[in-house]
């Protein structure tokens, strides 16, 4: 079977990483969570007060961008690849609310995107990568052999997220998802949009297992 790149895009909390991890494990491919890279840059900005009271000092960010090193290391105990910021494992910290509330300010900056996209392209040059994000099929791997655009209703995505974050109200989660959807799809730099040749998977009514089986078929066709 041919080694391919699999590009997975879609809205926040629609299960992109779940299917990406399943596919990477099944085919022994490398899984790259590109959202984690923008989160790590955001964490750097919060730690160094480049973002202060929700306001970003863009000039400072641009001057320090070459000091921000984001990488991944495979954790064989947990069987996952973890995100590192300047050599420190930040896998837990980047998932917190502090980062989630500020990350879209970072992911819309052109110079940040250019830096992340060039790292992502380099990772994919030998194929065998499953990458998820917002611009993978359109910008990072426009030549990916398989492009998936995952979607689910806002209500379903909010319920799934609520099950994970029980101390946050459903209303707050819906509001946060609506804001992030709007930010992701309306920003000037590489907005979230479906690649022309992407296959749309609406998983509102699909179980994780049903989705996996359906996508496995597409993978096997693309690998022929
Ligand atoms: O998928 P996530 O919530 O971890 O993404 C974090 C942020 O990064 C979110 O604002 C969307 C943005 N993002 C992006 O702009 N491009 C990507 N390829 C991946 C994520």
pLDDT at 167: 83
CATH value at residue 67: 3.40.50.300
Q: How far is the CA of 7 from the centre of ligand 1 (A)?
A: 14
pLDDT at 106: 96
Closest C-alpha to 184, from 132, 94, 107, 95? 107
User: H helices of 48-96, where?
Assistant: 58-64
CA nearest ligand 1 atom 7, residue: 35
Number of compact structural domains in the chain: 1
Identify which of 17, 34, 137 to mutate to test ligand 1's pocket (most ligand atoms within 8 A of the CB).
34
Residues of the chain with pLDDT under 50: none
pLDDT at 53: 95
pLDDT at 101: 87
- DSSP codes joined into one string, 134-160: SSIIIII-TT-SEEEEEE--HHHHHHH
60-66 LR contacts (CB < 8 Å, sep 24+): 61/106, 61/109, 61/112, 62/111, 65/111, 65/112, 65/115
Q: How far is the CA of 113 from the centre of ligand 1 (A)?
A: 10
Q: Which two tokens stand for residue 140?
A: 């990072």
d(CA 94, CA 71): 13
For 83, the 3-state DSSP assignment is strand
Q: Which two tokens stand for residue 213?
A: 């089986």
- pTM here is 0.95
Give the range of the structural domain holding residue 94, as residue numbers without chain letter: 5-222
Whether 222 and 137 have beta carbons less than 8 Å apart is answered as no
Q: How far is the CA of 38 from the centre of ligand 1 (A)?
A: 6
pLDDT at 164: 84
List, for residues 90-118, the tens digit of each pLDDT value. 999 999 888 988 999 999 999 999 999 99
d(CA 182, CA 16): 18
Q: How far is the CA of 102 from the centre of ligand 1 (A)?
A: 11
Give 7's strand partners: 131, 147
Cα distances from 3 to residues 46, 54, 148, in angstroms, run 39, 43, 17
Burial 120-151 (b: 16+ CB within 10 A, else e): beebbeeeebbbbbbbbbbbbbeebbbbbbbb
pLDDT at 135: 97
pLDDT at 96: 86
């Amino acid at each position: 079977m041919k080694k391919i790149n699999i590009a997975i895009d879609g809205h926040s909390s629609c299960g992109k990483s779940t299917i990406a991890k399943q596919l990477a494990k099944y085919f022994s491919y490398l899984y790259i969570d590109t959202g984690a890279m923008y989160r790590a840059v955001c964490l750097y900005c919060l730690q160094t007060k480049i973002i202060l009271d929700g306001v970003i000092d863009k000039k400072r960010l641009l001057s320090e961008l070459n000091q921000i090193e984001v990488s991944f290391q495979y954790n064989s105990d947990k069987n996952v690849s973890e995100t590192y910021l300047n050599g420190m494992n930040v896998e837990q910290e980047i998932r917190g609310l502090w980062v989630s509330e500020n990350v879209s300010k970072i992911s819309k900056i052109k110079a940040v995107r250019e830096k992340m996209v060039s790292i992502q392209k380099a990772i994919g040059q030998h194929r065998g990568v499953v990458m998820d994000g917002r611009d993978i099929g359109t910008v990072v791997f426009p030549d990916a052999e398989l492009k998936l655009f995952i979607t689910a209703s806002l209500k379903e995505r909010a319920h799934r997220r609520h099950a994970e974050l029980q101390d946050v109200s459903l209303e707050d989660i819906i509001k946060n998802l609506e804001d992030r959807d709007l930010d992701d799809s309306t920003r000037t730099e590489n907005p979230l949009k479906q690649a022309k040749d992407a296959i749309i998977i609406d998983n509102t009514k699909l179980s994780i297992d049903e989705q996996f089986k359906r996508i496995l078929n597409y993978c096997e066709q693309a690998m022929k």
